[in-house]
Amino acid sequence: MKISELSAATDVPVATLKYYLREGLLPPGEALSRTSAAYGDAHVERVRLIRALTSVGGLSLATTRQVLEVIADPGTSRVDVLGAAQRALLGEDFVAGPEGDDPDEGGNPPSRARAWLAEAGWQVHPHDPVIDDLDTAWAACDAAGLGLDEARMTQYADAVLRIARVDVDSVPPDAAGAVRQVVLGTVLVDRVLAPLRRLAQQHIAVSESD
C-alpha cells in the first residue's frame, strides 16, 4: 500500500506518518521509486502501537522510541524482559547500584516506602526510581490528611499484588511479545484501573446503602 493508503488504514495523517519515518519510529517501506514506497501490515501494526503509546498511554515520542527499541531487542530471561519494559516506561536508563548499597545513605532522609517494602518482604531493587515516586505520592497523601498509614498501605498492596499476578500470568513466553505485553499492559491498563476503581467505590457505596 502507498503512504496515503497507510494513512487511511490507520487514521493518521500523511504528514504525521512522514514525521514518524523521519524520526525512525516507523521503519521505511519498500522503495518503489525515488519518491514512493510500499507499506505493509507490519507498518499498520507499528503505527497503531505508536498511537496507543502516545495518545492513550501519554508517552513522549522519545520514550516511545525507547519502548520500540526494547521490543525489538528485549533480552532473554523473564526478569530481563520485565526490567527492560519497566525501564522503557521510565523513559530513562536505570542502572542498578552495587549489590548491598543503601540508597538512604549519604545524609538523605530515610525512605518510608523502602522501609515498608522491606518489612512487607517485597523483592524489588532498592534503587528503583519507582520507589521514590511511591515516597512522593505517600507524602502527598499525608499532607492531605488522608490517613494512609502502613496498615492501610498493606491493604492496598494486597489488592495490587492480585492485579500484578494477573499481569504477570498474561505475559507470553517469547521475549518480544512479553515486552510488548508488559509495556502496553502497564501503560494502557493503568488507564482502565483508575476509572474501574471509581466505579467500584460507587458500587460499594450504593450497595451498602440499600
The rounded distance, in Å, linking the Cα atoms of 131 and 36 is: 48
Contact 38, 30 (CB under 8 A): yes
Q: Provide mean pLDDT across the span 11-37.
A: 91
pLDDT of 163 strictly over 80: yes
Q: Is residue 180 predicted with pLDDT exceeding 90? A: no
d(CA 68, CA 83): 15
Decide: 126 and 101 in contact? Cβ < 8 Å.
yes
The reported pTM is: 0.66
The per-residue pLDDT for range 29-86, each reduced to its tens digit, is 998 888 889 999 999 989 988 887 788 667 788 878 877 776 676 565 666 666 666 7
- Look at 19-23, 61-65, 79-83, 164-168 and tell me which has the smallest mean pLDDT: 79-83
Give the lowest-confidence range in 31-40, 132-141, 155-164: 31-40
Residue with cell string 515516586: 133
Query: Regarding beta strands 37-38 and 30-31, do their DSSP bridges make them parallel or antiparallel, or are they unpaired?
Result: antiparallel
Quick one: 95 exposed, middle or buried, by C-beta within 10 A (0-12, 13-18, 19+)? exposed
Which residues lie below 8 Å from residue 74, measured CB to CB, with a gap of 6+? Answer: 80, 81, 84, 85, 175, 176, 178, 179
Q: Which of 121, 127, 189, 183 is nearest to 158 (CA)?
A: 121
User: For a pLDDT cut of 70, what percent of the chain falls above it?
Assistant: 79
Q: In the structure grid, which three cell numbers stand for residue 36, read together?
A: 514512493
Tens-place pLDDT, residues 86-122 = 766 666 544 444 444 555 555 555 799 999 999 999 9
SS3 199: helix
Q: DSSP string spanning 32-69?
A: SSSS-EE--HHHHHHHHHHHIIIIIS---HHHHHHHHH
Q: Give the three-state DSSP class for 124.
A: coil
